[in-house]
Structure 1
Amino acid sequence: MIVIQLNQRQQKIIEIVKENEPITSEQIASMLNVTRATLRSDLAILTMTGILDARPKVGYFYSGINKLNLLGSDMKNKKVEDIMSIPVIAKKDDSLYEVIVNMFLSDVGSIFIIDDDESLCGIVSRKDLLKATIGGADMNKMPIGMIMTRTPNIITVEKEDSVILVAKKIIEHEIDSIPVVENIDDKIKVIGKISKTNITKLFLEIVDN
């Protein structure tokens, strides 16, 4: 289950709605001695998570946390292989120019770099490419291997890992995407990628359903 930490005011709002439903936002604000504008974000969070239900011209009702629990369960049960997408790959000897073109034609934030054995050896982001070009690097001659982040400093996941684990890694390391890898004959093969976009699409799919 995904646990959302509610602040004290949000918890108090829930208690008020439970005891006085249906109740308007004006009435809730009055009981808390704050303005309606102050409550706007709190009420939005509580309704989006399904804890409260809002009905026009009627007010707020307490609907429980079943929707939130269901969402958390659905997210927790999803594996990386369920939502991963095709990775964009370059070879370590490809020029800086070739990788820049590849990145923008593919419209991705990161490209995974492989060696001659097709084993993952690095990763390069838009920020890395920008730094290199601003620094005056010869885009046609410099190999991408010169500026990439190398293993073992690359965050990876496997196809059986949970989506929740991936989301935590993306947030913790402040990265755009993570390569999905598989160890084959002692080589780290890139079999997919998972990004913020993949996770957001999954979230919207679960909510829509």
Structure 2
Amino acid sequence: MIIIQLNQRQQKIIEIVKQNQPITSENIASMLNVTRATLRSDLAILTMTGILDARPKVGYFYTGISQINLLGNDIKEKQVGDIMGMPVVVKKDVSLYDVIVEMFLSDVGSIFIIDDEENLCGVVSRKDLLKATIGGLDINKMPIGMVMTRTPNVVTAETDESVILAARKIIEHEVDSIPVIETDKERNITKVVGRISKTNITKLFLEIVGE
């Protein structure tokens, strides 16, 4: 067992939250004279380890935990393929309506889009579908390929990638999950083989601390 060593900025964040809770990330960033984006990874670490608690539209709270024991080596050695979940994929010509139904039946925040050769070509989120719905589009006729975020603008992970790197991508790009891919060199396609999300990563932390 090792004790996670917090950096100076993380320690300052804890002190600010203690004295001003509840406090938003915008206010924390202002007090530290940095951008909100700069604090994303720090706040993610502090909430995932249980030192801070975050409540939507309220802000951050201090939980009373001053330090947390983690199996540091296990975290570093964990790969995306060890904890990824099953992906939810649809073809790019499927209608918006059918994708909306699939998303809520599957209870996921993002769906990955593939072409006829099963090649990853895009991703669509709940926010994308909401925008399309209130934008007056015919959701029964409009194919999902018209509103998806297209590759190469899709953030991905690979099975042998470290969980830490995948977590950093999720935080930095402000997404709930990313597709896990493998390249089929013979067919020259990028296949979606999994899905890694904030939930997968949080469960891993809980397993490691023995919850």
TM-score (norm 1): 0.71
Deviations 1:87-124 (A, max 9, x none): 00010000000000000000000000000111000000
Instruction: Give, in angstroms, the shift of residue 77 of structure 1.
Output: 1.1
Higher helix share: 1
Q: Which runs of 5+ in 1 are unaligned?
A: 12-39, 50-66
**1:36: which partner in 2?**
none
Q: Distance in 2 between matches of 1:121 and 1:9?
A: 39
RMSD: 2.1
Matching of residue 7 in structure 1 with residue 11 in structure 2: yes
> Within 1, Cα distance between the matches of 2:133 and 2:12?
49
Cα deviation, residue 4, structure 1: 2.3
> Mean Cα displacement is larger for which, 2-11 or 131-140?
2-11
Could you report, residue by residue, the CA deviation over 1:37-65 in whole angstroms, capped at 9, with x for unpaired residues?
A: xxx93x82315x1xxxxxxxxxxxxxxxx
Classify 1:3/1:168 alpha carbon distance in 2 versus 1 (closer, same or farther; 3 Å). Answer: farther
1:73 deviation in Å?
Answer: 2.1
Structure whose alpha-carbon radius of gyration is higher: 1
Q: Secondary structure at the match of 1:81?
A: helix
Partner secondary structure for residue 193 of structure 2: strand
Q: Is the 8 A contact 1:10 1:46 kept in 2?
A: no
Structure 1: which amino acid aligns with 2:204? Answer: L
**Could you say which residue in structure 1 is the equivalent of 2:92?**
92
- 5+ long unaligned stretches in structure 2: 16-60
In 2, Cα distance between the equivalents of 1:158 and 1:201? 19
Aligned counterpart, 2:201: 199
| Separation of aligned partners in 2, 1:9 and 1:108 | 31
Structure-2-length-normalised TM-score:
0.71
Q: What is the one-letter code of the residue matched to 2:77?
A: N
1:45 to 1:123, Cα distance in 2 relative to 1, 3 A: same
Number of positions where the alignment pairs a residue of Structure 1 with one of Structure 2? 160
Question: Partner residue of 1:121?
Answer: 121
Runs of 4+ deviating beyond 4 Å = 8-11
If asked which structure has higher relative contact order (CA below 8 Å, sep 6+), I would say 2
Q: Percent identity?
A: 65
